[in-house]
Amino acid sequence: MEKKVIELQNIKREFIVGDETVHALRGVSFSIREGEFVTIMGSSGSGKSTLLNILGCLDTPTSGEYYLDGISVRKMTKNKRAILRNRKIGFVFQNYNLLPKTTAIENVELPLMYNPEIGSSERRRRAVDALKAVGLEDRMEHKSNQMSGGQMQRVAIARALVNDPAVILADEATGNLDSRTSFEILVLFQKLHAEGRTIIFVTHNPEIASYSSRNIRLMDGHIIEDKINGNILSAEKTLAELPVNDDEAE
């Protein structure tokens, strides 16, 4: 039995807006084992992003326990959480969040810049490896504003990979991309999954669920469904069957 990478116990998150309290998460408990590819789905406002931000230590729960790799996150200081993010988490955002006017390789190197244990030659080597893994070895010196959305998202994924994290978190990583590019990204995630990485993938698109190993469905801050997917489809196959778009047909 693989070890638990993530364990949530009755996580609640409330936002105070004016004199109203918004209950974004109303007591969420689950655990995720090493090597799982989990999709989290649910309608808009159901609390998916809130949950993922808590998992990524970008936000703190109002109550409840969260263990990442066996470490309790709740009682940690801000600095310790920053170090935890730096060493154990790779986060992919819907809007890429790359540094503007900065080359792909420098963007990928960024997490390692904040890790004093890694020297500059190793940093460069790992960044190059990560960019190769996402298929961007020929775009390393391109700046973020000289790349397409799909390429930017690959850079963001490479950045999430570069620190060899315990878990990769993606919040609607394909939300801004057309369906072909989305499947290319999905192929990438499936490849990472096949390499044994733990992935949590928030999405609106129910189709994507069938490419992951486990589906969690949120509604109104509660988990309403949590099932193992016995029949994982291959994104590569789907991509091959997809009609090629006009530009490439020429």
Ligand X SMILES: Nc1ncnc2c1ncn2[C@@H]1O[C@H](COP(=O)(O)OP(=O)(O)OP(=O)(O)O)[C@@H](O)[C@H]1O
Contact residues for another protein, defined by CB under 8 A: 53, 56, 58-60, 78-79, 82-83, 85-87, 91, 93, 97, 99-102, 106, 110-111, 113-116, 159, 163
> Mask of contacts with ligand X, 151-190, x by CB under 6 A?
----------------------------------------
Give the nearest distance from C-beta 121 to another protein in angstroms. 13
Write out the binding residues for Mg ion, residues 37-56 only, by CB under 5 A. 49
Among 2, 3, 10, 15, the residue binding ligand X under the rule CB under 6 A is 15
Per CB under 6 A, 45 contacts ligand X: yes
* Cα separation, 154 vs 104, whole angstroms: 10
Tell me how far, at minimum, the Cβ of 154 lies from Mg ion, in Å. Answer: 21
Sign of the torsion formed by the C-alpha atoms of 54, 85, 65 and 201:
positive
HSE-CB at 50 with a 13 A cutoff on CA atoms is: 24
Q: Give, in degrees to the nearest 5, the angle at Cα 218 between 177 and 98.
A: 35
Check if the beta carbon of residue 194 is closer than 8 Å to that of residue 234. Answer: no
Which of 89, 50, 35, 22 lies closest to 214 in space, CA to CA? 35
Give the residues lining the site for ligand X (CB under 6 A): 15, 17, 22, 24, 42, 44-50, 204
